[in-house]
A and B are shown apart, each in its own frame.
Chain A
Amino acid sequence: MPVSYHCLILSSERREANMAQAPTDPSSAETADPEESSPNMIVYRKIEDIVTRMQDDKTGGVPIRTVKSFLSKIPSVVTGSDIVQWLMKNLSIEDAGEAIHLGSLIAAQGYVFPISDHVLTLKDDGTFYRFQAPYFWPSNCWEPENTDYAIYLCKRTMQNKARLELADYEAENLARLQRAFARKWEFIFMQAEAQVKIDRKKDKTERKILDSQERAFWDVHRPVPGCVNTTEMDIRKCRRMKNPQKVKKSVYGVTEESQPQSPVHLPSQPVRKTTKEDFRKQITFLNMQIERHCLKMSKVAESLIAYTEQYVEYDPFITPAEPSNPWISDDAALWDIEMSKEPSQQRVKRWGFSMDEVLKDPVGRDQFLRFLESEFSSENLRFWLAVQDLKKQPLQDVTTRVEEIWQEFLAPGAQSAINLDSHSYEKTSQNVKDPGRYTYEDAQEHIYKLMKSDSYARFLRSNAYQDLLLAKKKGKSLASKRLTGLMQSS
């Protein structure tokens, strides 16, 4: 299915949904659990959908088997390549590298894990992986305390199994925790013993699976040094995550003496009631939207296409820069050329796209100004530039500048009198009485339109511009010769 068609369907569905909903209403209570819509949860739910589908043998899930090895059996595993194949087939991924990357992220988040490694990545080979138990899923918002981690490491040392031996970094962590929790180590030890007792009661195979899942849980929350800690959060999104109503739960169901037994009750945020004023504002806004003249989609698309087609030759990612892209060639020649006062033909051509292009480029602006000065009609452009400059001034200098501009361009008998229609002139004279950065906004807009239809058009037709465009100069300059030479040789 072509991507664009898929996108269309999505868009129209959403539109239907939007229409069915009430308009944006600040007071409408969020019926959904706010935590469900938090950014992290959105990703978790998507991953959960993927791993659930992966484990569903009725609908083409991955082959999960028990594998025989020397003296024992390895229960409930799937190979890395099976996972990669499944991802490529079911998520329309064309490149194995991409599937491996996505699979590694799913592992790093804690939803699937290698049974013989603390490092959570996916390999496209016969390495065995197991799926994490929903109890340990990150979407349960575990924030396991160090006491839990201490209990876990402690219990690992109690069981005499090769597969449960502590890795170096875990041994270091345990030592550090023993120092930190020196006073309550007896409590931790007892909890660990209790856990071992519970575990012993379980079926051997079940224990193997659970042990590995528990280890994978800690690989997420206490990752191997050097590995990404995927539980780290963007602090801007944290406020929604913390639900004060939830008790901090222990992975091992341990309640510490210091923890309160009942949920902490915090006064809920007062919800701001929507006032009549809000509705009025909304209606005004919607009215404005309706009144707005909107372009048809097809026109908009044509306009966007036309713009990119015009500028594609200037886009270094699509049309390689001449003489070279400095980042690729390590040669800053391109920038040196641009700094010089001699503009390239390509640069000059761009000034013809729109008046904004001339105004944006300091060299173009300069050429434009010089041309107008040669015709003794530069006051409009100088006024426009002066107003631009006014808007860049610090607040304290604004009043002075407003006055200066008035004197030079607008006052009766002004040296560089600009031609404003009487309406704009009236408005501006009123504005000047209360000087601010936007005093000349209307006047500037008027002058801009005037320049566009008059001065700019003349500039483009002028000899000065045409000569630059065709790289003609009296006594052909060395610079353009050099440029042409460079272009030919690259």
Chain B
Amino acid sequence: MALCQKLASDLWTNREECFDGGLSNRQLFAVHQVAERVEALGQFVMKTRRTLKGHGNKVLCMDWCKDKRRIVSSSQDGKVIVWDSFTTNKEHAVTMPCTWVMACAYAPSGCAIACGGLDNKCSVYPLTFEKNENMAAKKKSVAMHTNYLSACSFTNSDMQILTASGDGTCALWDVESGQLLQSFHGHGADVLCLDLAPSETGNTFVSGGCDKKAMVWDMRSGQCVQSFETHDSDINSVRYYPSGDAFASGSDDATCRLYDLRADREVAIYSKESIIFGASSVDFSLSGRLLFAGYNDYTINVWDVLKGARVSILFGHENRVSTLRVSPDGTAFCSGSWDHTLRIWA
């Protein structure tokens, strides 16, 4: 066993040296240096364009529908609401049998939603437009974990769901049968977030957890193919860069970081001395130039991904920002907060 330990340690050192690529003074590049020649961004005027009120308690999660205007949101009081956020009308609502619904997702077809939380499950609800819709009646229980459900996402179809849980695992499920298709073990603590790679042929996803690690998985084999550990605390959110070659993370250590899959390392860090509260949720603008991050200090910081500078700070929420997603066509982003509201910004 000691031999194994030494071997592992040698390989570790070896790997670190590999990355230097022969540079004698071990100089570390960050994207910002190379991006010095890139034009700086102008001033941004981003405002709240819609405020969605209706939840009775902390909003914990939200997701966009592919139609670019509908969203689903879930809250601590067990309510899950589907809104047409353009008109701010509530279109569907269901009350879960548990509190703290920490995860929700919209199906690609727009005809169903998935959600779960302290019930350790992920359930799928078809959306109908019947007059006296009883959503709870058509509920389908799909995923079963042994601890809270922290994140869920449909794959490219309504038929498969990927989940992340406080039990330290992720899992892929067949919606129709509820069967477990693949499980992903490797995190040393609760998994808090996941994101599917944006490729048309992609079979990978990234997850982040309380073990400070971000791990990239092969959906087919269940194996972890890459792992990153540079954060100092829980990783609350992970999101792919639109090209799929990199991903960003937001952590309780008050920083966001960019990891590149081809370089197999962290390539940028977004932090400021005055930002001391954790980042709860991150997402990219369509071109990947901007990174929007929601924080536990009630603000949203907008980062220039290439230059590493913060370009804007958005005030408005009156409590922690818990969830943040950019709309499918990039025209706006939505933030959900512990102040019971959701805001659309553009």
Contact = CB atoms under 8 A, between A and B. Distances in A.
Interface string B24-52: 00101111111100100100101001100
Q: Looking at A232, A237, A359, which has the most chain B CB atoms within 10 Å of its CB? A: A237
A12 B266 CA distance: 11
Contacts of A87: 274
B150 interface: yes
Contacts, number: 294
Contacts of A328: 49, 346
B256 to A, nearest CB: 11
B195 interface: no
Nearest to B175: A394
Contacts of B254: 42-43, 46
A392 B159 contact: yes
A68 interface: no
A296 B277 contact: no
Contact of B29 (A15, A39, A301, A304): A301
Q: Looking at A26, A288, A437, which has the most chain B CB atoms within 10 Å of its CB? A: A437
B241 A304 contact: yes
Contacts of A332: 69, 86
Given A298-B34, A304-B260, A448-B201, A39 B69 contact: no
B227 A97 contact: no
B127 interface: no
Interface in B285-327: 285-290, 296-299, 305-309, 313, 315, 318-319
Given A98-B313, A304-B245, A326-B86, A286 B11 contact: yes
Contacts of A305: 31, 34-35, 38, 306
Contacts of A391: 155-157
Interface in A311-362: 311-312, 314-318, 321, 325-328, 332, 334-335, 338, 356, 359-360
A18 B31 CA distance: 21
Given A39-B252, A296-B263, A315-B289, A236 B190 contact: yes
Q: Looking at A299, A327, A441, which has the most chain B CB atoms within 10 Å of its CB? A: A327
B14 interface: yes
A290 interface: yes
A7 interface: yes
Q: How large is the interface on B (under 10, 10 to 19, 20 to 34, 35 or more residues)?
A: 35 or more
Contacts of B268: 7
A225 interface: no
Nearest to B156: A392
B295 to A, nearest CB: 10
A302 B230 CA distance: 23
Contact of A283 (B8, B200, B229): B8
A266 interface: no
Q: Which 4 A-B pairs have the closest CB atoms?
A: A392-B157, A301-B34, A394-B176, A4-B32
25 contacts: A15-B16, A19-B12, A19-B13, A39-B278, A42-B233, A42-B253, A43-B296, A93-B274, A101-B298, A102-B297, A228-B318, A235-B148, A276-B1, A294-B264, A304-B245, A304-B267, A305-B306, A307-B241, A307-B288, A314-B286, A317-B285, A318-B41, A327-B332, A441-B220, A448-B201
